[in-house]
Amino acid sequence: MQFHSRIGHTFLWRLQFLKDLSRAERDQLLDRVQAHARSPEAARLVPVLRDTFDRGDAISAQVFENQARTVLFAPTTKHRGERADEALNALALSFLLPPNPEHLGEARADFHRARLMTLGDIAQFLFATTAFYWDHQDWMVQCAGLVTFRGTSPAAILALPSQHRYFRLGTTFTYNRCLMLWLVALLALVLLPRRRGRGAKRLIFYAISLTFTGLAMTASTCVLGELLPRYTLPMWELLWISLFLIVGTFLDVVCDRVAARHHKQVGVVSR
C-alpha cells in the first residue's frame, strides 16, 4: 500500500460541530456541500453524514469510515481502504472549499478557547486521558500490565496534579497573557537604542516567525480537526523559545553597553 493523505479521517472529528447546528441550518450546509462535492463518492457520503446527525448520534470516525467503505465499495473492491480514504479526503475538501461560515465560526471559537488555556489545563488533560483507561478496559486489555495502571484508581490519577506544586505554577497565565508579555519584551528590544545591527534584526524577525508559526499550527488544527488541550503545545513551546531569544538578546545588548561604558570610564581614568 502506498503512502497517502488521511486528512479526511482527521476532519471527521471537526465535523462534530454539525450537532450544534439546528436541523435546518445543518441541512442547508450539507446541501451546499453536496452540490459542490469534489467527487461522486464524496457526494454519496453526505446523506450518510446527514442520517448520522439526524439520529442524534455523535459522529465516530471509525464507525463512519466503516460506513463509507460499505456504502461506496463492494467487499471485493481492490484497494478498498485507500479508495475510502480518497473519498473522505474529497469530503473534507468539499467542506473546506469554498469556506462556509458555520465551519469557520466554530474554528474561530476554538482558536479563541485555545488562547484562553493555561499550561495547567494541558497538564490536567493528560491525566484525564490516562484515567480514560478505567472506563475502557475491555478494549485496552494490553494496558493492564503497565505500572501506570497497577494498584491505583482514576481518582488517584486525577488527584496527582494537586499534589505537586509545579503543576500549579502554570494555572495563572493564559496564552493570551503570555503573548502580551512577549509583545512587551519584543517592543523593549525593538526600541532599545543602538542595537546590534543585522544580527539583532534577524533575531527579531526569527522570534516573530516562531510565534506566528505556533499560532498558525494551532489555528490549522482548529480548522481541520477537533481541538484538544495537548494540540496547543506547539503554540506554547514556540512562544517560550521566542521569548527566551528576545529576552536573551535584550540582556546581551544591555550588558555590552554597560561593559563598553565601563571600559570607557577605565580608559579615561588611566589617562
Q: Region 240-254: what's the mean pLDDT? A: 91
**Among 70-84, 156-170, 179-193, 230-244, which stretch is predicted with the lowest mean pLDDT?**
156-170
pLDDT in tens, 6-61: 999 999 999 999 999 999 999 999 999 999 999 999 999 999 999 999 988 888 88
- Phi/psi at 60 (5° precision): -110, 125
Q: Region 229-252: what's the mean pLDDT? A: 94
pLDDT in tens, 93-135: 999 999 999 999 999 999 999 999 999 899 888 888 888 888 8
- What is the share, in percent, of the chain residues with pLDDT greater than 90? 53
Angle at 128 between CA 122 and CA 129, to 5 degrees: 95
Residue 137 and residue 181 in one domain: no
Q: Region 250-267: what's the mean pLDDT? A: 76
* Terminal CA-CA length for the chain: 80
What confidence category does residue 194 fall into, taking pLDDT thresholds of 50, 70 and 90?
low
pLDDT value for 152: 84
Q: Is 110 within a domain?
A: no
Look at residue 195 and tell me whether its pLDDT is greater than 80.
Answer: no
Residue with cell 484497494: 79
Look at residue 262 and tell me whether its pLDDT is greater than 80.
Answer: no
Exposed / middle / buried, residue 251 (Cβ in 10 Å: 0-12, 13-18, 19+) = exposed
Q: How many domains does the chain have?
A: 3
Residue 30 and residue 76 in one domain: yes
What are the beta bridge partners of residue 118? 174
Q: How many helices and strands in the chain, by DSSP H and E?
A: 12, 0
Residue 186 and residue 247 in one domain: yes
Q: Is 136 within a domain?
A: yes
pLDDT value for 29: 96
Q: Is 14 within a domain?
A: yes
Answer with the one of 148, 171, 194 that is the final residue of a domain: 171
Q: Is 105 within a domain?
A: no
Q: Is 209 within a domain?
A: yes
Q: Is 112 within a domain?
A: no
DSSP3 helix / strand / coil % (the chain, rounded to 5): 80, 0, 20
Q: Is 103 within a domain?
A: no
Residue 188 and residue 259 in one domain: yes
Range of the domain at 49: 7-98
Look at residue 1 and tell me whether its pLDDT is greater than 60.
Answer: no
Residue 203 and residue 159 in one domain: no
**Averaged pLDDT of the chain:** 88
Residue with cell 459542490: 36
pLDDT value for 186: 95
Look at residue 238 and tell me whether its pLDDT is greater than 70.
Answer: yes
Q: Is 66 within a domain?
A: yes
